[in-house]
Chain A
């Protein structure tokens, strides 16, 4: 078997990056309809990877990830409409806002464990919507519509770059020295602290990175939907979809979020034509069954039953 050689090469990371590069190369010839579907897929993949950084890697379930996405969108819309910045700069600013927000929220909420963290993040998301509703500069509860036109190629290149960086970062984190620390925090945080891992700092770093990418993806999302509207931007369904993707694909793996995003998006797009809301019934059922019976998700299950491919899919 030549598997060890293949393993050290890291086929998954290069596979995903190659996939993104090839897509970006042929984007110019992809018809607009298919391109918008792909853009949506990549945005959701970026969101799934962002949640994967904290929930997948450390086991801290965050129900409030939509906060970073929504504020990324608000930053882009505010920057473009009020400061007339180019949208790409707005996306970058959205990432910075997501990072700052995650540092602030994480410094407090990462002290809580298990369900308390999940509840604190959920409640912050619910409260953040209500705070945004009363801020006059952010559309006075009506949202900020944008008038920048339909430019799928720019959306596509922006989200491709974000996703490529994000996947590369996930690979560096899980395969570097910090990866051992993260895995030990996931299995036993107290023991990890005992052997000298600065758990608080590692978690905050992951949460901040997570906020950064969610903010950037949220910015692109607001760009594609021509603005942000409070109830749609803070819709908890986004949090739930992100969580569904990493649960279905496999938490804490490199390939999992991508697979989950593909599965959830195909289900959504397929059932959208049948009956609105029906896709969530299916996704909800699938998440329930996977969580109860195969908590490792698609990638984790493959890894369990075919140990040889461990290095390849990681």
Chain B
């Protein structure tokens, strides 16, 4: 039955798309979990990661997967700068993030978002660019899947698993988790709160920029400075769906969103706008009924 093939194809595409959504939201999840801060400029850092991959391809001929580690290292540095520029003043000497500080960081990072989008627009123009890289397709029965998307999904899940392992198996990771739960207690057992928070933020940015590089595989001709306007709301929804600070939450939220968008448009008569609207609005019932996220 042709319909069943279509359904399976859309489901598989939704899952692949969900993996890339998950990894771009994962960086936000890490920062939100550690510092209890929402980075409104998250989408702009995804955009910077995508442009990083684009320029590495343009000048050095790297394919997007090769530029992932390079983008990740740049992200580490950017994350440390971001922590000391935006979060340190609000978190220093505090026991937790107050509503007032929360508002300050929201507004300040929103200013950063406005700045970064338009600086990118001025520097690189608003034209769409892309990386010509397509490693072919994989045929499983009647279903045809892009190999690039499969590679990306594997790398994405690996990044999330690695960050989970880092946070639960290493001393530094445990210190970061302790910090996110109780700052005074962390200081009491001799952990430097500034160092731990800076490392946590840096890891978050590392994953964000790596996610931006991975995203370029899905956007063969669609990298532009206002990329963040779409992917930031997607990331927010995913993190809330999965639950902020839960490492597998990004994957659950990402897959949910990817499947809703792709399978949804099949049932809504190929209407991607409506499917996207429904995917975005799932945020509201989840916040009302399970504010801690879908994962327990």
Could you tell me if A116 and B280 are in contact, using CB atoms closer than 8 angstroms? no
Partner of A123, one of B99, B106, B111, B281: B281
Query: Residues of A contacting B110 with CB < 8 Å?
Result: 63, 240, 243, 287
In the complex where A131-B274, A131-B277, A133-B273 touch, is A292 in contact with B86 (Cβ < 8 A)? yes
A86 within 8 A of B: no
CB of B94, distance to nearest CB on chain A (Å): 15
A202 within 8 A of B: no
Could you tell me if A284 and B233 are in contact, using CB atoms closer than 8 angstroms? no
Query: Residues of A contacting B287 with CB < 8 Å?
Result: 112, 116, 120
Partner of B288, one of A63, A108, A119, A134: A108
- Mark A9-33 against chain B: 1 for CB-CB distance below 8 A, else 0: 0000000000000000000000000
Could you tell me if A287 and B236 are in contact, using CB atoms closer than 8 angstroms? no
- Mark B273-285 against chain A: 1 for CB-CB distance below 8 A, else 0: 1101100110110
- Chain B residues 141 to 175 lying within 8 A of chain A, measured CB to CB, are none
Total contacting residues, chain B, CB less than 8 A:
42
B240 within 8 A of A: yes
Query: Residues of A contacting B108 with CB < 8 Å?
Result: 287-288, 291-292
Could you tell me if A134 and B271 are in contact, using CB atoms closer than 8 angstroms? yes
CB of B116, distance to nearest CB on chain A (Å): 8
Chief secondary structure at chain B's binding surface: helix
B112 within 8 A of A: yes
B66 within 8 A of A: no
For this complex, into which size category does the number of interface residues on chain A fall?
35 or more
- Mark B46-76 against chain A: 1 for CB-CB distance below 8 A, else 0: 0000000000000000000000000000000
CB of A288, distance to nearest CB on chain B (Å): 4
In the complex where A120-B287, A291-B108 touch, is A127 in contact with B115 (Cβ < 8 A)? no
Alpha-carbon gap, A155 to B52, bound state (A): 46
Could you tell me if B281 and A59 are in contact, using CB atoms closer than 8 angstroms? no
B38 within 8 A of A: yes
Could you tell me if A127 and B114 are in contact, using CB atoms closer than 8 angstroms? no
Could you tell me if B118 and A291 are in contact, using CB atoms closer than 8 angstroms? no
CB of B2, distance to nearest CB on chain A (Å): 25
8 A-B pairs closest in CB distance = A284-B115, A287-B111, A284-B114, A288-B111, A291-B108, A130-B277, A280-B118, A127-B280
Interface of A toward B, CB cutoff 8 Å = 59, 61, 63, 108-109, 111-116, 118-120, 122-124, 126-128, 130-131, 133-134, 141, 236, 240, 243-244, 247, 275, 277-278, 280-281, 283-292, 295
Q: A59-B99, A295-B107 are in contact. List 14 more A-B contacts (CB 8 A).
A: A59-B100, A63-B110, A112-B287, A114-B102, A115-B38, A115-B102, A120-B284, A126-B230, A280-B118, A281-B114, A284-B111, A285-B115, A287-B111, A295-B104
Interface of B toward A, CB cutoff 8 Å = 38, 40, 86, 89, 99-100, 102-104, 106-108, 110-119, 121-122, 229-230, 233, 236-237, 240, 271, 273-274, 276-277, 280-281, 283-284, 287-288, 291
Q: List 17 A-B contacts (CB under 8 A).
A: A108-B288, A115-B106, A118-B38, A118-B106, A119-B237, A122-B233, A122-B236, A123-B236, A128-B277, A134-B271, A141-B273, A236-B229, A240-B114, A284-B112, A287-B111, A287-B114, A292-B104
